[in-house]
Amino acid sequence: MADKKAQLIIEGNAPVELPVLTGTMGPDVIDVRSLTATGRFTFDPGFMSTASCESKITYIDGDKGILLHRGYPIEQLAEQSDYLETCYLLLNGELPSKEEKAKFVGTIKNHTMVHEQLKSFFNGFRRDAHPMAIMCGVVGALSAFYHDSLDINNPQHREVSAMRLVAKMPTIAAMTYKYSMGQPMMYPRNDLNYAENFLHMMFNTPCEIKPISPVLAKAMDKIFILHADHEQNASTSTVRLAGSSGANPFACIAAGIAALWGPAHGGANEAVLSMLDEIGSVENIDKFIAKAKDKNDPFKLMGFGHRVYKNFDPRAKVMKQTCDEVLAELGINDPQLELAMKLDEIARNDPYFKERNLYPNVDFYSGIILKAIGIPTSMFTVIFALARTVGWISHWKEMLSSPYKIGRPRQLYTGYEQRDLPSGRD
């Protein structure tokens, strides 16, 4: 990184020199670590202009709508790779050789079952519990089962935990769905690939084992790829922060699941379908666009806008294309897709959205494909969490693989100055 400098001049004080660091791509960053010597902090609620770490995993160019995983464009990975190969790439930094991939796929297959006792955790939940509530609880509980791989300073333990999490998330996700349906949970099968296995555990029953549609399995795998990682988003930053205290990997991923659940983040895919239901028909679109623009109305156009992308989210483009393919293959004419496309067209031509660079994001079309695959709306964010686990654990591994400090932001305090308790209180 070049030795460029920035100067900070605070009235009445000598200029403070701060290093400017340059990455391989993207904006330079001003290294403010030495700022505490001036007795001052930076102030940046929401981290709008703060880089929290250095990373080599994913690069996003929000203006150009670029998303790279270890340098490879998301469009190429979605078209030419598969989810487990993308997992290997995110976790290890390079694409696997044929042998490496076969070994990796084999290792994942051999970790897809969960401990039989894990099932008893489900019985404490109501059948109509939101599946994300169950995911938070059950994934966090994994730390009670794998005492053999909780030493975060042991690279072998980190590796085993990463494999266990990537392998078990589909099983646990399908278990939450079966629990909500009152159906028996299905065991994973080693003769199916990752996406087929998930659909098998979701939709097959002990009474009838139907073959998995290759079209749906391919679409599912592509959705997993498109959700795998996305730089320092809210849930990934949560996982890094939890990991920086030395918490075990399962607790860190449970924290990531909790953060993802919010409708401003991963919960948006479920919220898009509810919003389309609420809009109901093309005639109502203008009314809802007006609501989205009204500062006094909390309504936002779900699936639109992004902290980083000020252009089209490249994942949304691939998602839209996949949507067309899956619906055509299945012969589904989904009125919600027509409504979504009309909403997309109207919003993108409206000055309010254009001035603010608000485009459809990854969540706008994903729900329509998931619905076509047969996934219930309440499971949409669970699918997001399943797919994003590899991104979370890749960042967790990257942070722990080199020197790090516990994350501990400071604040601008605007509360009371010191005062004494009133005397004579009874």
- Does 395 help bind ligand SDX (rule: CB under 6 A)? no
- The radius of gyration of the chain's CA atoms, rounded to the nearest angstrom, is 23
44 token code pair = 């940046």
CB of 220 to ligand SDX, least distance (A): 18
Residues composing the chain: 426
Q: Cα–Cα distance between 282 and 356 in angstroms, integer?
A: 23
Q: CB-wise, 197 or 361, nearer to ligand SDX?
A: 361
| Annotated catalytic residue 63 | no
- Does 304 help bind ligand SDX (rule: CB under 6 A)? yes
Site string for ligand SDX, 238-277 (x = CB under 6 A): --------------------------xxx-x---------
| Annotated catalytic residue 306 | yes
CB of 183 to ligand SDX, least distance (A): 31
- Does 67 help bind ligand SDX (rule: CB under 6 A)? no
Query: Whose CA is closest to 202, among 174, 160, 221?
Result: 174
Q: Which of 307, 310, 317, 348 binds ligand SDX (CB under 6 A)?
A: 307
Q: CB-wise, 40 or 265, nearer to ligand SDX?
A: 265
| DSSP string for 303-342 | TB--SS-SS--HHHHHHHHHHHHHHHHHT---HHHHHHHH
Q: Cα–Cα distance between 424 and 59 in angstroms, integer?
A: 61
The residue of the chain with the least Cβ separation from ligand SDX equals 305
- Does 86 help bind ligand SDX (rule: CB under 6 A)? no
Site string for ligand SDX, 321-360 (x = CB under 6 A): -----------------------------------x-x--
Q: Cα–Cα distance between 255 and 167 in angstroms, integer?
A: 18
CB of 226 to ligand SDX, least distance (A): 9
Q: CB-wise, 18 or 341, nearer to ligand SDX?
A: 341
The H-or-E segment that residue 275 falls in is helix 268-279
Q: Cα–Cα distance between 116 and 137 in angstroms, integer?
A: 16
| Annotated catalytic residue 265 | yes
CB of 301 to ligand SDX, least distance (A): 4
Q: CB-wise, 112 or 238, nearer to ligand SDX?
A: 238
Helices (H), 131-260: 131-141, 155-181, 194-203, 214-226, 234-243, 249-260
Q: CB-wise, 356 or 410, nearer to ligand SDX?
A: 356
Q: CB-wise, 173 or 239, nearer to ligand SDX?
A: 239
Site for ligand SDX in 213-242 (CB under 6 A): 230, 233
Q: What is the dihedral of CA 22, 265, 139, 168, to 10 degrees?
A: -80
Buried (b) or exposed (e) across 161-180, using 16+ Cβ within 10 A?
A: bbbbbbbbbbbbbbbbbbbb
Query: Whose CA is closest to 390, among 186, 193, 221, 262?
Result: 221
Positions in the binding site for ligand SDX (CB under 6 A): 230, 233, 264-266, 268, 292, 300-308, 356, 358, 361-363
Q: Catalogue the active-site residues.
A: 265, 306, 363
